Chains A and B, each alone.
Chain A
Amino acid sequence: MTVRGARKQLWNAVALLLTVIIAFPVFWMVSTAFKPDDQIFALTPTWIPLHPTLAHFGAAIHKPYFWADVKNSLIVVSVTVSIAMVLAFLAAVALAKYRFSGRAIFILLIIGIQALPGAGLIIPLYVVLARYHQVNVLSGVIITYMTFVIPFSVYTLRGFILGIPKDLEEAAMVDGSTRLGAFIKILLPLVAPGLVATSVFAFITIWNEYIFARTLLNDGAKQTLTVWLSYFLGTSRNTDWGALMAASTLTAIPVVIFFLLIQRRIAFGLTSGAVRG
């Protein structure tokens, strides 16, 4: 074997070892979720459950508020994303296609807002929302999520619109369409993949969000899934690790699926824009 070949084999071996280490926690979560209790509590671990059981998944979904909180998460995600996308799309069109005074400041604000840490906004948002009776209701959380989903979406969508060749839109205008008419007829289908990618990314961010949901929603039946999961252990001393790992797996599944669908676009979106993490 040549020196180069040998070196490549070495790098391959290192990379495979790292693959195992990096993926292990995720593997361990799924593996535990399918394991019978005696294997979970044994001192010597069982790596792969040879007789997998679905008992823990049953226990997880029958825990109080699971379905209520899944529903809450879905409501919060869908309402936030649909309102944010409409508003953000309009602003993104303005930014990408028109020059107007105040535009640079607007872009600066859109970028700057994304650098604001969520933790720093918790106190004022809580106090203001309490004043308008928006605590412990989903609408309060939806309002809060808009504060970071809208700027992120404006920025990302503008990027997608800028990426569309100008001649297409000009061709539409020659046909006698108005400028806005040209967008709707020609641009909307072209921007659709960008809209989908941005929506999915907003979906993931909202589905995963924890600090605001935890602060603003106190009632078990009114919480979102991540808050439900964080309270899963409660105060009991005997931890039901199997059920907890099953619940974790269930919480992660929608995100993983969506993430795999748009991962390439996310990498682009995050380096060109940012989202609070």
Chain B
Amino acid sequence: MPYLLILPVIVVMAAILGYPLYSLGRLSLQQYGLFELVQHKGKYIGLDNFRSVLHDQVFWHTLERTIVFTVANVGLTMVIGVLLGLLLVRVSTWVRIALTSALVLVWSMPQVVAVQVWQWMTNYQNGVISYVLTELHFGDYYHHDWYGSTFSQLALVTALIVWGAVPFVAITTYAALSQVPRELIEAAEIDGARAWRVFFDVTVPILKPVLLILTSLSILWDFAVFTQPFLLIGQPHLHPGNYLMGVYLYETGYLGTDFGRGAAISVLMLIVVAVLASFWVRRMVKQDPAT
């Protein structure tokens, strides 16, 4: 009986995911360009795609950039998210409702919509961010080109991603924190000197499982991020010097119509993700109610 119930899912998943994954392995060993796409048939070339990718400086630079980018994004997301979660416990109810509403609103923004709004806020002619920063005397940002350097481009992508990811972390942290006995938080607040002790002895252990899952999820998402860098930096401004892994793979494999090479990059990327994910998967399986 149970096999009958899971059979449809197994058949469908084998066809729509298992088969493409098998094809991915095969493609990575083939020369497969536009010609082969039309013929539906690749030419076996052994490990040449991998050899060429691994000898390409662009691959290693992109990998390095993506790792730094991921560390920065996950770090900022987690720190800001957890601080907001801690703040939510300390404010009056009406303030908490206001802040939570803002967070949920941001959380619900589709990525493509968010990109358009950020592009409008940072546009060269009259971006509102330039205006506000200038008015607050952070410097003269009038007609500032936010897309002028690789660092600035990736910093904008980071701001966009962190802004979008913080609500999930903040609200989940707050939910976990509301399980901490109220008296303990109050004791920590009154007894200022011991506040940090209580924080590390009571709050952190309660948050730890949630934070581990949030951190590993963020790593998985940010490492393979595509939509935000691809659309915010924008096609005309993308070049090997500002690629992140997802963009690199897309530009090489799909837009460059070198599907074999793209497949090799995908395989390498999936290997890195598998290593990163093994920790998360193990935790999920361990905390599973029925295994």
Partner of B254, one of A123, A208, A230: A123
Q: Does A15 lie within 8 Å of B27, measured CB to CB? A: no
Q: CA of A43 to CA of B125 in the docked complex: distance in angstroms?
A: 8
Per-position 1/0 for B80-120, Cβ under 8 A of A? 00001001101110011011011111111111111111101
Per-position 1/0 for B168-195, Cβ under 8 A of A? 1001100100000000000001100000
Chain B residues contacting A118 (CB-CB under 8 Å) are 224, 226
Per-position 1/0 for B1-13, Cβ under 8 A of A? 1110110111011
Prevailing SS type, chain A contact patch: helix
Chain B residues contacting A34 (CB-CB under 8 Å) are none
Prevailing SS type, chain B contact patch: helix
Q: CA of A90 to CA of B41 in the docked complex: distance in angstroms?
A: 37
Q: Would you call A4 an interface residue if the criterion is a C-beta within 8 Å of the partner chain's C-beta atoms? A: yes
Q: Does B120 lie within 8 Å of A15, measured CB to CB? A: no
Q: CA of A97 to CA of B17 in the docked complex: distance in angstroms?
A: 26
Partner of A111, one of B12, B114, B190, B285: B285
Q: CA of A131 to CA of B121 in the docked complex: distance in angstroms?
A: 42
Q: For A162, give the chain B residue with the smallest CB separation.
A: B289
Chain A residues contacting B98 (CB-CB under 8 Å) are 15-16, 19
Q: Does A122 lie within 8 Å of B250, measured CB to CB? A: yes
Partner of B269, one of A44, A119, A204: A119
Q: Would you call B52 an interface residue if the criterion is a C-beta within 8 Å of the partner chain's C-beta atoms? A: no
A21 to chain B, nearest CB (A): 9
Q: Does A124 lie within 8 Å of B112, measured CB to CB? A: no
Chain B residues contacting A172 (CB-CB under 8 Å) are none
Q: CA of A179 to CA of B227 in the docked complex: distance in angstroms?
A: 46
Q: How many residues of A contact B (CB 8 A)?
A: 96
Q: Would you call A65 an interface residue if the criterion is a C-beta within 8 Å of the partner chain's C-beta atoms? A: no
Q: CA of A252 to CA of B116 in the docked complex: distance in angstroms?
A: 12
B174 to chain A, nearest CB (A): 9
A15 to chain B, nearest CB (A): 5
Q: For B192, give the chain A residue with the smallest CB separation.
A: A3
Q: Would you call A115 an interface residue if the criterion is a C-beta within 8 Å of the partner chain's C-beta atoms? A: yes
8 A Cβ contacts from A4-43 to B: 4, 7-8, 11-12, 14-16, 18-19, 22-23, 25-26, 28-29, 32, 41-43
Q: Does B110 lie within 8 Å of A251, measured CB to CB? A: yes
8 A Cβ contacts from A56-96 to B: 87-88, 90-91, 93-96
B236 to chain A, nearest CB (A): 9
8 A Cβ contacts from A230-247 to B: 230, 232, 239, 241, 244-245, 247
Q: Does A28 lie within 8 Å of B9, measured CB to CB? A: no
Q: Does B259 lie within 8 Å of A123, measured CB to CB? A: yes
New contact pairs (15) apart from A28-B121, A122-B254, A123-B249, CB-CB < 8 Å: A16-B98, A22-B166, A26-B105, A45-B126, A45-B128, A90-B9, A95-B290, A106-B6, A117-B220, A117-B269, A121-B266, A130-B37, A147-B16, A162-B290, A229-B116
Residue contacts A-B, CB under 8 angstroms, 8 given: A26-B106, A90-B8, A107-B291, A112-B277, A119-B245, A122-B250, A127-B27, A267-B175
